[in-house]
Every structure is written in structure tokens, then in C-alpha cells.
Amino acid sequence: MAVAAQSANRPTVRRRIVGAQLRRLRESCGLGRRQAADSIGVGESRLSRVETGRAGLEEDDVKRLLELYGISRRDERDALLTLVQEANRPGWLQAFSGAMPAWFRPYVDLEEAAQVIRTYEVQFVPGLLQTEDYARAVIAQGRTTPSNEEIDRRVELRLRRQRILTAPNPVRLWAVIDEAALWRPIGGSEVARAQLRALLDAARLQHITVQVMPFRVGGHAGEAGAFTILRFPEPELHDIAYVEQLTGAMYLERDDDMDSYGAAMERLCVQSASPQESMDLISKIIREI
């Protein structure tokens, strides 16, 4: 049983890896979920949540499951138990717990663990590519009226998230942005122009691709709105489509969901202006905005 380590330093990712490993071990020894759940005194629905990474287990419960599954090798047991121990340790996100809704926290965890992020944005420049002034204007003009302190914390969080683009092994980011988002003078024309110049700078980096969905394209594959697809280096972790709503978010990973969102993203990339054409269009908007 090999536990991947490249991005397993995120609590959400740890739980998902632990759950995937436990599910695989249970299935390999032919046990049903109810039998395994009964052995540790929890409900079948609780174990289902554990196996999908949506809940954790105490270390003693995991030890009993490993014994039930016939895992006796110390190195195998220790590798998984170490992840269990670390899954509940607070990371840097703990300091920002009041700066984001609870439903968004898993996304930040997963975002930092991703190897490839593909996103389609309709209204704004994607958060990972926002300047500080632009981010402040977006947050201040949101659906709530946050205090100056709340705005500062949310901006700080957004800028902290961007470190995945400047890390030694940065995430691969592919962003498709609707042209309408680029014309919006969010924060005023000066802030908007500075944001677009920063977007051009980002688009020149090898690990970042920016495409614009131009007005000249009528109906297209992004008709349902903004979404993001996350891909991870660990074989235990399936791709996830993240769809944000007004008061929550959906984290989709079923095969049929991912087939639909993956196909939509592919069509968006084909229908959008090429990366070079997109840079030319962004430059044009800078001159005219």
C-alpha cells in the first residue's frame, strides 16, 4: 500500500487519501461497508463519508479496520496512520477561518494540492490571477457589506492562495475568461488596466495559459456559468469539478459529471481565441477601457 506524498500535506487531501485507501483495502478483502462499519461501532453512512474523504476517523478506529482488513505489515500501517494523525492538524488556513465561508475552505485545500487547474470565469478575472487592488474591489462590491477588517483578511487570503503559482513546482493553470469580465472597470479604470497588464504578464509564464472567450462567439459550452476542474498528482484522488453558487458550492467527481465538465472545458478552449489572440485582445481592451 503506497501512500502518495507530493501534495498530501493538506488536511482535505489527507482525508481523501485515507478514505480511498481504506475503501480499497475493504474491497480487496471482500468485506461489505456495513460489516466494516459494525466492527468499529459506526453507521454505514458514516463509513461511507470516511471512504469518500468527507469525514475523518480516530486513529484507534483506523487501527481496528486495518486489523480487520488483514494489514499486518508495520510500514503499511504506519504510512496510513501517519496521514490519519496529520489529517486533524490545523494548517495555515486555520488563521483564515473567519475570512471565508465553511463551504469554500475545502476548495482552498484542494486548490493548493492540485497539479493542474482549469477554470472558466464569466464575471471576474480568476482569483488566482487578481491583483491586490482588483481583489479588494471585487470583495468590497460583493453581495454582503464586509467591514474594512473583513475585506483586508479576504484580500490577504486571496493573495496567499496565489503562492501556488510561484512555488518551486507551480500548479499548471489554464484560465478561460469571458471577454465581458475584461471590459468591466472593477475598481475604476486605473485598477482595471493594472489588472489586465498583470494578466498579460501572467499569460507569458510557461505554466499559465490564458484564453479569452470573445464576444464574436455566440452560444458556447460555458452557457451554464463559471466552473473549475482540479486534477491531482495522487492516483487516489479523482478529478473534481467545483461549481460555486450564491450560498454554497458543489464538489463533483462522479464519472458522468466529470465527463460533462471535461468536455465542456475542452470545447471552451477550442471555441475561445488562441493564447496569442487572447493577449492581443487584452492589449486592445487596455487601450480602450
Render pLDDT for 101-131 as a digit per residue (tens, 0 to 9).
Answer: 888 988 998 898 899 999 999 999 999 999 9
Q: Which three cell numbers stand for residue 6?
A: 507530493
Q: Which of 25, 11, 28, 13 is nearest to 65 (CA)?
A: 25
* pLDDT the model gives residue 8: 42
Tell me the longest C-alpha to C-alpha distance in the chain. 68
207-255 tens-digit pLDDT? 999 999 999 887 776 777 999 999 998 777 889 999 998 889 999 989 9
Q: Do the Cβ atoms of 157 and 199 come closer than 8 Å? A: no
Q: Which three cell numbers stand for residue 231?
A: 486534477
Q: Which comes out higher in pLDDT, residue 100 or 183?
A: 183
Number of neighbouring beta carbons within 10 Å of residue 66: 20
The three-class DSSP label of residue 226 is coil
Q: In b/e form, how buried is each residue of 103-135, taking b as 16+ CB within 10 angstroms?
A: eebbbbbbbbbbeebbbbbeebbbbbbbbbbbb
Q: Which three cell numbers stand for residue 185?
A: 472597470
Instruction: Indicate the DSSP class of residue 94.
Output: G
Give the whole-angstrom CA distance, residue 20 versus residue 47: 11
45-56 tens-digit pLDDT? 999 988 888 788
Give the whole-angstrom CA distance, residue 285 versus residue 214: 12
Question: Has this prediction a pTM greater than 0.75?
Answer: yes
Looking at residue 126, its amino acid is: P
Side by side, which strands form the sheet with 227-231?
208-213, 172-178, 116-121, 227-231, 240-244, 249-252
